[in-house]
Amino acid sequence: MNILFKFKETAVSVLPVILIVLALGLTVAPLEKIFLLRFVISGLLLIFGLTLFLLGVDLSIQPMGERSGAALTAKKSLPLLLITAFVIGFIVTAAEPDIQVFGSQVKSVFHFVNKTSFTFAIAVGVGIFIMIGLLRTVLKLPLKITLLISYIILFAVSFFVPNAFIGIAFDSGGATTGPMTVPFIMSLGIGVARVMTSKDENSSFGLTGIASIGPVLAVLIYGIVSFTSSAGSEAAAGAAASLAESGVEIAGDCTALDFAAATESSLTGNLFKPFASVFGEIFHEALFSILPIFALFVIFQIWLLKMTARQVTRIVIGFIYSFTGLIIFLLGVHGGFSDAGAELGRILGQKALSAGGAWYLLLIVTGLILGAIIVCAEPAVWVLSEQVEQVSGGTIKRKMLLVFLSVGTAIAIGIALWRAVSGFSLKSVLIPGYLLAMLLMLFCPAMFSGIAFDSGGVASGPLTSTFVLSFTIGAASGGSGGSESFGVIALVAMMPLIAIQIMGIVFKMKQKKTEGEVEHV
């Protein structure tokens, strides 16, 4: 991989966000100079960290996942493949730092929730649906039918869950999409598909999308069980009131930092104090993100892969690059980048509430632009777009994929900000949105449907779910209240399902037109 080329592309993805925030922070939404300087330093850390992380993924996680999937399939033991898939899904999810944060956030609002059982429920959900995803590939079942049945079951269950738990359930899908686990799961699916389907590109995608259904369904079922008791209902009422009063935000990949505390920390102290204060937590988060996958590599190498010493050395070096890059990336995210989003959103939200009109429009437009740009800097989005271009033999350009993904994410953030300052039911957006996504599957090529549902899982990564989420929380704190920022990750995960499938339909129409022109020649 050309590291200079990769560095250039990551810089192009992050620098526009820095310029937009600086422009607003120096003019209509004034921020303190030390705050802006810290934000710029954070942005540079993002660029360096993401470049190093992607280099490591190319050297280690991607080839390991593909080799493991192919080797497991070559054993020709379906029970072995499925049991291993479940164990992989359970281990990497239970160890995911964001799941621990997510569980703590849920418990802080719904006190009847047991964090351990809640975490295990999500991990079991991911494990089961990774099994289902690989079983679909092995049995050559249509991806569209698998997704359709899964979402019918999911929405049928959702009608029995109180509204207070719906956003939590759909946000939980974002909590499982860690920057280390998503590339591994995607590569695992591609490895299995290459053995089972003679490299049929239509079967190479969709595993991440199917796996993302698991935690949502698991949390919905957990909610039904919890709310059946009268104590659960009373706790829910108290939790809803607490949520509305305190402005606590629950979201998949969000940090545990309280908005007010984060803002105060960012506006006081010396320039580098916030970076030093979060380093220990970030090191722990990065370590526990990579350890489960590295442990699986060691086990697979001894039992299954048996690669040469040179190949093992290359993969170990890749893990080191990924680990180091992830630390630098997260240090930038949590050291000042997300805090800037929160403060900027708060100022614009307050002005939109008090003055309305042009300020309201500026808030929405800013969210649209930031959402469109920042998703392109997500680590897992980079991995997915590169895999799509490789598997499709270059017929699907990664730039085209990023454009449609950006548009979808921008619309999601726009809707989220609309809710943040005005307020309306999350169900009123999710149900029509997913119905439209299911309808588009009838006209969209199978491979694009798989890419679309994978994209929904990767769009809500650590950068989108911190900076953009913090921006929305800030807008809600200055607007209608923090409870209306609830469900941002659910919207970010939904919109790519629509946008990428529209891209697939456009691609299909262009192909037919090209074929028709060739026939006439």
Could you report how far apart the first and last alpha carbons of the chain are, in Å? 40
Phi/psi of residue 438, nearest 5 degrees: -65, -40
Is the Cβ–Cβ distance between 378 and 456 less than 8 Å? no
Average pLDDT, stretch 268-295?
84
How many CB atoms within 10 Å of residue 363?
29
Residue type (1 letter), 68: S
* 119 Cβ contact list (under 8 Å, min separation 6): 94, 99, 100, 103
Burial 285-300 (b: 16+ CB within 10 A, else e): bbeebbebbbebbeeb
Phi/psi of residue 433, nearest 5 degrees: -65, -45
Number of domains in the chain: 1
Share of the chain above pLDDT 90, in %: 30
Is the Cβ–Cβ distance between 189 and 133 less than 8 Å? yes
Q: Is residue 251's pLDDT more than 90?
A: no
Sign of CA dihedral 442, 445, 449, 450: positive
Is the Cβ–Cβ distance between 137 and 189 less than 8 Å? yes
Q: Is residue 423's pLDDT more than 80?
A: no
- The C-alpha atoms of residue 109 and residue 102 are separated, in whole angstroms, by 11
Is the Cβ–Cβ distance between 482 and 476 less than 8 Å? yes
Provide the mean pLDDT of the chain: 82
Residue type (1 letter), 437: A
Is the Cβ–Cβ distance between 55 and 287 less than 8 Å? no
Q: Is residue 288's pLDDT more than 70?
A: yes
Tell me, what's the pLDDT at 235?
A: 47
Tell me, what's the pLDDT at 166?
A: 83
Give burial (CB, 10 Å; 0-12/13-18/19+) of 169: buried
Tell me, what's the pLDDT at 42?
A: 92
Give burial (CB, 10 Å; 0-12/13-18/19+) of 512: exposed
What single-letter DSSP state applies at residue 162?
-
The pLDDT-based confidence of 109 (bands split at 50, 70, 90) is low
Tell me, what's the pLDDT at 482?
A: 47
Average pLDDT, stretch 435-445?
94
> What's the length of the chain?
521
Is the Cβ–Cβ distance between 501 and 437 less than 8 Å? yes
How many CB atoms within 10 Å of residue 487?
28
* 368 Cβ contact list (under 8 Å, min separation 6): 410, 411, 413, 414
Q: What is the pLDDT of residues 24-75, one digit of tens each?
A: 999 988 888 888 999 999 999 999 998 998 899 889 988 999 999 999 998 8
Distances in Å between the Cα of 381 and the Cα atoms of 182, 201, 399 are: 9, 19, 12
Is the Cβ–Cβ distance between 32 and 271 less than 8 Å? no
Q: What is the pTM of this model?
A: 0.80
Q: What is the DSSP annotation of 230-293?
A: HHHHHHHHHHHHHHHHH-----TT--S--HHHHHHHHHSS-TTHHHHHHHHHHHHHHHHHHHHH
Q: Is residue 16's pLDDT more than 70?
A: yes
Q: Which tokens is 288 given?
A: 């526990």
Q: What is the pLDDT of residues 472-490, one digit of tens each?
A: 777 766 544 444 555 778 8
- The C-alpha atoms of residue 188 and residue 206 are separated, in whole angstroms, by 11
Q: Is residue 167's pLDDT more than 50?
A: yes
The pLDDT-based confidence of 267 (bands split at 50, 70, 90) is very low
Domain that holds residue 340: 3-520
- The C-alpha atoms of residue 257 and residue 262 are separated, in whole angstroms, by 6
Query: What's the 3-state SS for 24-37?
Result: HHCCCCCCCHHHHH
Give burial (CB, 10 Å; 0-12/13-18/19+) of 40: middle
Tell me, what's the pLDDT at 227?
A: 75
Lowest mean pLDDT among 283-287, 328-332, 347-351: 347-351
212 alpha-carbon distance from chain centroid: 10
Residue type (1 letter), 294: F
How many CB atoms within 10 Å of residue 432?
10
For the chain, the C-alpha Rg in angstroms (whole number) is 22
Tell me, what's the pLDDT at 265?
A: 44
Tell me, what's the pLDDT at 199?
A: 52
Average pLDDT, stretch 433-458?
91
Residue entry with tokens 């592309």: 9
* 432 Cβ contact list (under 8 Å, min separation 6): none
Tell me, what's the pLDDT at 237?
A: 44
Q: Of 493, 6, 56, whose CA–CA distance to 290 is shortest?
A: 56
Tell me, what's the pLDDT at 111?
A: 79
Q: What is the DSSP annotation of 34-78?
A: HHHHHHHHHHHHHHHHHHHHHHHIIIIIHHHHHHHHHHHHHTT-H
Is the Cβ–Cβ distance between 212 and 151 less than 8 Å? no
Q: Of 129, 151, 50, whose CA–CA distance to 82 is shortest?
A: 129
Average pLDDT, stretch 400-406?
91
